[in-house]
A and B are shown apart, each in its own frame.
Chain A
Amino acid sequence: QVQLQESGPGLVKASETLSLTCTVSGGSVSSGSYYWSWIRQPPGKGLEWIGYFYYSATTHYNPSLKSRATISVDTSKNHFSLRLTSLSAADTAVYYCARDGDMDTAMAPGTFEVWGRGTMVAVSS
């Protein structure tokens, strides 16, 4: 059974860069069957999709974050990462990683079937 676990700093300063990692167990980030996504939820607000990575090195981002977000994969460590630059208080949120889509069952990307527990990131001024 695939499990995902986010890790990273709980507190970062405004204008700096956030780096988060999602470690995958019970499955492989190299699998061509899935996409790997990041999603966040600011306190008291709804969910926001950040973007995904596909094993062929394809990435796709939410236009609202496109200029600041980068998602990459490290197959040797079986994890994928999110890098978010130029942080502001508006980036304070719980950040989730998720396994996205399923090519074997024609489940389209944007369908998040497995989620990590989430990690809270606060941006201080």
Chain B
Amino acid sequence: QSVLSQPPSVSGTPGQRVTISCSGSTSNIGGNGVNWYQRLPGTAPRLLINRDNERPSGVPDRFSASKSGTSASLAISGLQSEDEADYYCATWDDGLNDPVVLFGGGTKLTV
């Protein structure tokens, strides 16, 4: 059971908009920037969003993210078949004396 809670799966049809949630607490999401990663089948994860809502160069603007309080969300609009992948949120947790990078459990997107 991950400290950062994501739905195990979401699905959508081509062209639709889907959102993936990531729920945490004040010691992680509530006080630190959230990153999102996409892991296509058989490949290494790819940074999709950093610092809550910034897209690195090369990431399509169909991908967006937001954060409110202790929850974050990733939105994918104009869904495409190639978006079928696992998506992970991640952030620092500094609730204890030893900060740690946490990942959500991951959400499998089926298109």
Q: From the candidates B56, B98, B103, name the one contacting A46 in the complex (CB within 8 A).
A: B103
In the complex the two chains form, what is the Cα distance from A46 to B22 in whole Å? 14
Contact A111 B50 (CB under 8 A): yes
Q: Which residues of A contact B24 (CB under 8 A)?
A: none
Interface of A is mostly: strand
Within 8 Å of chain B (Cβ to Cβ): is A89? no
Within 8 Å of chain A (Cβ to Cβ): is B63? no
Contact B45 A62 (CB under 8 A): no
In the complex the two chains form, what is the Cα distance from A117 to B39 in whole Å? 11
Within 8 Å of chain B (Cβ to Cβ): is A66? yes
Q: From the candidates A46, A48, A110, A118, name the one contacting B92 in the complex (CB within 8 A).
A: A110
Q: Which residues of B contact A55 (CB under 8 A)?
A: none
Contact B35 A111 (CB under 8 A): yes
Q: Find the residue from B2, B37, B43, B44 having the highest chain A CB count within 10 A.
A: B44
B residues in contact (CB < 8 Å) with A: 2, 33, 35, 37, 43-47, 50-51, 56, 88, 90-92, 96, 98-106
Give me 30 A-to-B residue pairs in the complex whose CB atoms sit less than 8 angstroms apart, sorted by A's number.
Answer: A46-B2, A46-B103, A46-B104, A46-B105, A46-B106, A47-B88, A47-B90, A47-B106, A48-B103, A49-B90, A49-B101, A63-B96, A63-B100, A64-B100, A96-B44, A96-B45, A107-B50, A107-B51, A108-B51, A110-B101, A111-B33, A111-B35, A111-B47, A112-B37, A112-B45, A112-B47, A113-B47, A113-B50, A115-B45, A118-B44
A residues in contact (CB < 8 Å) with B: 46-49, 60, 62-64, 66, 96, 107-113, 115-118
